[in-house]
Chains A and B, each alone.
Chain A
Amino acid sequence: MTAYIGTPASRIDGRAKVTGEARYAADFNEQNLVYGAVVASTIPKGRIKHIDVSQALRVAGVLKVLTHQDRPQMAADDDAYKDDVAPEEGSPYRPLYDDKILFNGQPLALVLADDWETARFAATLVQVDYDAAPYVTDLQAQLSTAYVVPKPEKPRGDAAKAYAAAQVRHEAEYFIPTEYHNPMELFASTVHVDGAGKLTVYDKTQGVQNVQGYLSKIFAGSVQEFRVISPFVGGAFGAGLRPQYQVVLTVLGALALDRSVRLVLTRQQMYALGYRPATIERLALGANADGTLAAINHEAIAVTSQFEEFSRNDTGWSGLLYKSPNTKFVHKLVRLDVPTSSDMRAPGAATGVYALESAMDELAVALDIDPLELRLRCYSDRDQNENLPYTSKALHECYRQGADAFGWSQRNPKPRSMRDGADLVGWGMATGVWEALQMPVAARIVLTANGHAEVSCAASDIGTGTYTIVAQVAADKLGLPIENISVKLADSTLPQAPVEGGSWMAASASHAVASVADDIRDELLKLAKAVSGSPLAGAAGADVTLAGGRLVSRKDAGRAMSISDLMRHGGLDRMTKEKLNTFAQDHSHARNTHSAIYAEVKVDEQLGVIRVTRVVSAVAAGRILNPKTAGSQVMGSVVGGIGMALHEEAVYDHAFGRIMNANVAEYHMPVNADVHDIKVIFVDEPDDQVNPLGIKGVGEIGIVGVAAAIANAVYHATGKRVRDLPITLDKLKA
């Protein structure tokens, strides 16, 4: 029975969010809180020769200044600093550990004071003497140092030879600059000292248990127990997957003073955290005259730090998506003196598929074939990399329904052929693809005799709607009204969950809840059987269901017993069940989500100003638990794609090895006036193979391909192909 799953239920945490009751990491106040302020490096590489904190200490209200020379003890081995999602290769950065400077903006001191203003003022008085070293921050200037990192995708055939022999060829280089997540919430931690060696950490994170494990290792010698809580997260987009340095610094402050401490980073300081790496993508597509592919060559060159090797799969999507007998993929990294790059909104796919789908558009032009028609001719019903069937793939329907909603058939293929007054009008399209991942997650249900249930799990809700979908699944599985379900998330003491990322949480948490709800049902059935003359005497677990507050026979709805009666018979006020759900390892099928994106741009012919006036995103992602919250996820991802296409770029001054636009005014992001009509379509995609509930997840899929659709629309409008993002008017008019 599904009363709630699949319905557009409003967020159960909506009221808390519109009234200001929702508390984020920096919102947990207490009396006599100490405030921290960070002193950050102004050079990208070298050593601290001398750090003078004496002036800062003179400021009334300053309690302590921590530096690498004066701080509580921390672990001395790399393993302690490797969080659950740290890159396998390398040595994680250790905040305030020693005198080495690895990147600009690295924290060098933490000023602790009675209030934030005093701490901030005193931080300006800390004097750092540097022993500066030569550094590199320019990807283009360091291409000769690029080295290959192995990726799982295997080559097929001979892509170089097939490309050389192809009837129609397209080869080009695309560029995605360094982009920042810029969640609206500043990275912050509040550490409450509870006494008895316990610290409660309110942290901005996508994974409380990841932070808990990380801190426990770093401070194994001094803290008996960490509890990490993060009930609300003000956006993260991947920035909160790894523990960030402010949480370590806040703990250090709390340990140094034995007092509760809060540290909120400034927006500028957040530009020394992770970022989407600047990436060069080289595509060489060879086609036959009939619009089928003969060769795909895809090479990506991305940025990582000098001390860790972060890379994601950029090129594999090209091998996966389209039929081609010959493929070759190369992934390279360039090490720069910058913080380690990180996951950001569909990491790898947002960049790699942007390039692939731009190249496919250019190939369509070269072939004189409609871009949608080209995708259909290259369509594959199998994962081309692994030669596996999909559990489901409704991309055809995405193409069709998206094209119908957009009016694609009305497109005049000629560039500069469509106009609206002084504006050139362009229509572009692209394909999106992501993985349907699923992870082990545990959930606990406490059912009370009055027909209420509390569902809890350590998973985070970073705005994605986890609270709401967990309540929906629990309500359906327990046969209770959704108002009777309360949900507790993002506390490290709750049942196991991984970081919230990769679009895996909807499927993973839903199945955890469904699975433990079955245990509740079975326990209730045991109680039912113990009642003399039970109407459910001969029933097995699969024969009964929970509905309308009762345990009911599936065959005969007349045979039922109320939950409250059963629990009274059993002498129970409450029933608690907890279970870890794992998914069967089935490698016989590929599991992916897909999308088709259609975009309209209007470009002022004289000024080159670009507006994205319409976007249709048709998504195939299995069963959609909540079209309202899932629709918001995809809509928001489209907005992220608009930013990627037209606005976002961290601008380096390589003379200082520093980002010049480290704020949210000069790092351009879409604002309300930049966003117009966005239509999200969820294509029906029944899938009983991907997992029992048929859920694939929608977090990442929404952004993949969006930048390409817009770039392709800009080309169609203007006849000018801009291959380095963002597409700004200066590039258009150049």
Chain B
Amino acid sequence: MARATAREPVQDPIPIPEKISIQITVNGKATELKVAPWTTLLDALRDRLDLTGTKKGCDHGQCGACTVLVDGRRIVSCLTLAVMKDGAQIVTVEGLAKDGELHPVQQAFIDHDAFQCGYCTPGQICSAVGLLAEGKAKSADEIRELMSGNICRCGAYPNIVAAIQQAMGRS
């Protein structure tokens, strides 16, 4: 079977958006990227930069699995077009550990078994790191409320709250 690289050129093609060059810093690394305007930050991270730690759970901003930190704030990367973040500092779950040492939130998630399948975990952890930086949540109820944009279908919520409380104590 012949390997299809591209089809024969079609008459009267429907064009797709042209790619635009953007500069983003991802996990401390300056990166130049050419992306189409319709590419989300999530898809750019996963498909273009091979940073597959950030997950797609709904593509609608409903589940939180794609949460990353942009200029220190937690956002859902599926509702963010990559071109909107030209010049931004982006931290994904891959960028939290330093020199092989886990971030206190990562370690706390392991200690408290704050996940089962692990799929929502990168989003939960980035969201928790953002939550700590916001400094708003003090009580368990406030943590629950402010972590409710991140769905965990395995139902690890009580352990997630305990992990965040542990990380709060350390930071």
Q: Which residues of A contact B (CB under 8 A)?
A: 10-11, 13-24, 26-27, 29, 33, 55, 57-64, 115-118, 121, 125, 181-186, 232-237, 257-259, 264, 266-267, 462-465, 628-629, 631-633, 635-640, 663-665, 669-678
Q: Tell me if B132 is interfacial: C-beta within 8 Å of chain A.
A: no
Q: Tell me if B72 is interfacial: C-beta within 8 Å of chain A.
A: no
Chain B residues, CB < 8 A from A14: 109-110, 113, 115
* Minimal Cβ-Cβ distance residue in A for B38: A117
Closest Cβ of chain A to B29, distance in Å, is: 15
Further pairs besides A11-B110, A637-B155: 12, Cβ < 8 Å: A27-B52, A58-B12, A62-B7, A184-B117, A184-B152, A232-B117, A258-B3, A663-B60, A664-B57, A675-B157, A675-B158, A678-B158
A670 CA to B147 CA, complexed, in Å: 12
Closest Cβ of chain B to A555, distance in Å, is: 39
Chain B residues, CB < 8 A from A29: 47, 50, 52
Chain A residues, CB < 8 A from B94: 19-21
Instruction: Kindly supply a per-residue 1/0 record for chain B positions 73-108, scoring 1 wherever the CB is within 8 Å of any chain A CB and 0 otherwise.
Output: 000000000000000000011101100001000110
Chain A residues, CB < 8 A from B12: 58
Cross-interface CB contact of B144 among A232, A267, A673, cutoff 8 Å: A673
The answer on a CB contact under 8 Å between B10 and A232 is no
A695 CA to B21 CA, complexed, in Å: 58
Chain B residues, CB < 8 A from A22: 118
A17 CA to B53 CA, complexed, in Å: 9
Closest Cβ of chain B to A135, distance in Å, is: 28
Closest Cβ of chain A to B149, distance in Å, is: 8
The answer on a CB contact under 8 Å between B111 and A59 is no
Q: Give the interface size bracket for B toward A.
A: 35 or more
With A17-B121, A232-B118 known to touch, is A673 a contact of B145 (CB < 8 Å)?
Answer: yes
Instruction: Kindly supply a per-residue 1/0 record for chain B positions 147-171, scoring 1 wherever the CB is within 8 Å of any chain A CB and 0 otherwise.
Output: 1111111111111110000000000
Chain A residues, CB < 8 A from B147: 672
Q: Tell me if B33 is interfacial: C-beta within 8 Å of chain A.
A: no
For the complex of A and B, 6 pairs with smallest distance between CB atoms: A20-B53, A639-B155, A234-B119, A463-B117, A17-B118, A636-B155
The answer on a CB contact under 8 Å between B113 and A629 is yes
* Minimal Cβ-Cβ distance residue in A for B123: A184
- Residue among B1, B2, B16, B54 with max Cβ neighbours from chain A (10 Å): B16
With A20-B122, A631-B113 known to touch, is A672 a contact of B58 (CB < 8 Å)?
Answer: no
Cross-interface CB contact of B55 among A234, A635, A677, cutoff 8 Å: A234
The answer on a CB contact under 8 Å between B93 and A20 is yes
A635 CA to B162 CA, complexed, in Å: 14
Closest Cβ of chain B to A595, distance in Å, is: 16
Closest Cβ of chain B to A202, distance in Å, is: 11
The answer on a CB contact under 8 Å between A18 and B151 is no
A62 CA to B60 CA, complexed, in Å: 24
A48 CA to B90 CA, complexed, in Å: 46
The answer on a CB contact under 8 Å between A18 and B102 is yes
Closest Cβ of chain A to B41, distance in Å, is: 13
Q: Tell me if B24 is interfacial: C-beta within 8 Å of chain A.
A: no
Cross-interface CB contact of A258 among B4, B16, B157, cutoff 8 Å: B4
The answer on a CB contact under 8 Å between A10 and B113 is yes
The answer on a CB contact under 8 Å between A235 and B117 is yes
Closest Cβ of chain A to B53, distance in Å, is: 2
* Minimal Cβ-Cβ distance residue in B for A188: B56
The answer on a CB contact under 8 Å between A235 and B3 is no
With A60-B15, A465-B116, A664-B62 known to touch, is A184 a contact of B153 (CB < 8 Å)?
Answer: yes
Chain B residues, CB < 8 A from A26: 46, 52, 56
The answer on a CB contact under 8 Å between A635 and B158 is yes
* Minimal Cβ-Cβ distance residue in B for A262: B47
Task: Supply 12 A–B pairs (Cβ within 8 Å), ascending by A.
Answer: A20-B51, A20-B92, A27-B52, A63-B6, A121-B16, A183-B153, A184-B154, A186-B58, A234-B120, A664-B57, A675-B158, A676-B158
A674 CA to B96 CA, complexed, in Å: 28
Closest Cβ of chain A to B39, distance in Å, is: 6
Cross-interface CB contact of A235 among B10, B119, B160, cutoff 8 Å: B119
The answer on a CB contact under 8 Å between A185 and B119 is yes
A637 CA to B157 CA, complexed, in Å: 12
Chain B residues, CB < 8 A from A118: 16
* Minimal Cβ-Cβ distance residue in B for A186: B56
Chain B residues, CB < 8 A from A55: 14
Closest Cβ of chain A to B2, distance in Å, is: 7
With A29-B47, A237-B153 known to touch, is A17 a contact of B115 (CB < 8 Å)?
Answer: yes
With A59-B16, A235-B153 known to touch, is A184 a contact of B65 (CB < 8 Å)?
Answer: yes
The answer on a CB contact under 8 Å between B151 and A669 is yes
Closest Cβ of chain A to B139, distance in Å, is: 12
A665 CA to B63 CA, complexed, in Å: 8
The answer on a CB contact under 8 Å between B52 and A20 is yes
The answer on a CB contact under 8 Å between A64 and B52 is no
A465 CA to B117 CA, complexed, in Å: 9
* Minimal Cβ-Cβ distance residue in A for B109: A18
The answer on a CB contact under 8 Å between A635 and B119 is no
Cross-interface CB contact of A19 among B15, B97, B115, B161, cutoff 8 Å: B97
* Minimal Cβ-Cβ distance residue in A for B61: A665
A232 CA to B12 CA, complexed, in Å: 44
The answer on a CB contact under 8 Å between A665 and B60 is yes
Q: Tell me if B13 is interfacial: C-beta within 8 Å of chain A.
A: yes
The answer on a CB contact under 8 Å between B117 and A19 is no
* Minimal Cβ-Cβ distance residue in B for A678: B158
A590 CA to B121 CA, complexed, in Å: 39
A60 CA to B120 CA, complexed, in Å: 34
A455 CA to B43 CA, complexed, in Å: 35
Q: Tell me if B70 is interfacial: C-beta within 8 Å of chain A.
A: no
Closest Cβ of chain B to A223, distance in Å, is: 12
Q: Tell me if B22 is interfacial: C-beta within 8 Å of chain A.
A: no
Chain A residues, CB < 8 A from B117: 183-185, 232-236, 462-463
Cross-interface CB contact of A57 among B10, B51, B115, B121, cutoff 8 Å: B10
Chain B residues, CB < 8 A from A18: 93, 102, 106-107, 109-110, 115, 118, 121-122, 125
Cross-interface CB contact of A184 among B10, B15, B113, B151, cutoff 8 Å: B151
Chain A residues, CB < 8 A from B36: 115, 117
A675 CA to B96 CA, complexed, in Å: 28
The answer on a CB contact under 8 Å between A675 and B144 is yes
Cross-interface CB contact of A672 among B2, B6, B63, B150, cutoff 8 Å: B150
Chain A residues, CB < 8 A from B153: 181-184, 235, 237, 669
With A14-B110, A664-B151 known to touch, is A58 a contact of B1 (CB < 8 Å)?
Answer: no
Chain A residues, CB < 8 A from B158: 635, 675-678
Chain B residues, CB < 8 A from A115: 36, 39, 47
* Minimal Cβ-Cβ distance residue in B for A13: B118
A142 CA to B125 CA, complexed, in Å: 47
